[in-house]
């Protein structure tokens, strides 16, 4: 789902594999690349529900929901998506090379930590700039999972052949996200005044919120 239609992706530099990220709280996230239709339908269903809840809150993504399942799958699972699995103690990617093994028979709600897509931000001669969208279910928030997923993005995006990343709309009310990208060396390269009509006012009232354009070079 892109304003530019279907966009060819760069040539990957290497085969994507599972990785492991320990967190300061003693928990661990293993990350697992999945490719569109190869993804377990139950996992897509789960994230579809989580994403529509996020849209209903109206504070982080620009879309007005709800999306149909096909619309969501085209948006989040049309290219490469990285799915994170939560572990109660340190775990290596070698222990859990596949998403199924990492889940270890646990329910999706218990095991799945979050996900994000990686795809071109622009077409053709600018398709080496990627974009990503992150989603952490409410039940998993407050565990520093977003930081682990963001750190994994710094590996997977260049491995897929992208030379840089552009986040078009990081709304100013999303303070935690902006702080995270600052910490990881991203640059705030632009400000779009009143770019979002979000439900951030008193009692969920809509108001117009500025958005920051965030950039990082991988080369």
Residue 172, token pair as written in the block = 């100013």
Planar angle of CA 29, 104, 52, nearest 5 degrees: 60
Q: What is the pTM of this model?
A: 0.95
Q: Nearest-CA neighbor of 12 among 77, 88, 79?
A: 79
What percent of the chain clears pLDDT 90, i.e. is strictly above it? Answer: 89
The per-residue pLDDT for range 52-107, each reduced to its tens digit, is 999 999 999 999 989 999 999 999 999 999 999 999 998 898 999 999 999 999 99
The per-residue pLDDT for range 125-153, each reduced to its tens digit, is 999 999 999 999 999 999 999 999 999 99
- Residue 188 in 3-state DSSP? strand
Helices (H), 77-118: 99-103, 108-111
- Are residues 95 and 104 in contact, defined by beta-carbon separation less than 8 angstroms? no
Q: How does strand 187-198 pair with strand 207-217?
A: antiparallel
pLDDT recorded at residue 37: 72
When comparing pLDDT for 7 and 99, which is higher? 99
Average pLDDT value for the chain: 95
Dihedral angle over CA of 58, 61, 63, 65, nearest 10: -50
- Structural domains for the chain: 19-165 (3.40.630.30)
CB atoms within 10 A of CB 193: 8
Rounded CA separation 178/194 (Å): 17
Q: How many helices (H) and strands (E) does the chain have?
A: 6, 8
């Amino acid at each position: 789902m892109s304003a530019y239609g279907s966009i060819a992706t760069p040539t990957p530099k290497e085969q994507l594999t599972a990785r492991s990220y320990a967190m300061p709280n003693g928990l661990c996230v293993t990350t697992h690349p999945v490719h569109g239709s190869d993804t377990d339908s139950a996992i897509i269903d789960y994230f579809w529900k989580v994403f529509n809840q996020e849209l209903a809150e109206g504070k982080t993504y620009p879309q007005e929901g709800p999306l149909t399942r096909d619309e969501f799958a085209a948006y989040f699972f049309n290219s490469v998506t990285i799915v994170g699995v939560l572990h109660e103690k340190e775990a290596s990617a070698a222990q859990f090379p596949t998403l199924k093994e990492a889940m270890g028979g646990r329910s999706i709600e218990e095991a799945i930590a979050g996900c994000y897509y990686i795809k071109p931000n622009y077409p053709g001669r600018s398709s080496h700039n990627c974009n990503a969208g992150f989603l952490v279910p409410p039940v998993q928030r407050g565990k520093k999972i977003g930081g682990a997923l963001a750190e994994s993005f710094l590996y997977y995006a260049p491995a897929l052949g992208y030379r840089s990343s552009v986040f078009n709309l990081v709304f100013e009310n999303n303070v935690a996200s902006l702080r995270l990208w600052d910490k990881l060396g991203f640059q705030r390269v632009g400000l779009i005044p009143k770019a979002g009509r979000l439900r951030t006012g008193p009692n969920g009232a809509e108001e117009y919120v500025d958005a920051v354009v965030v950039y990082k070079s991988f080369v």
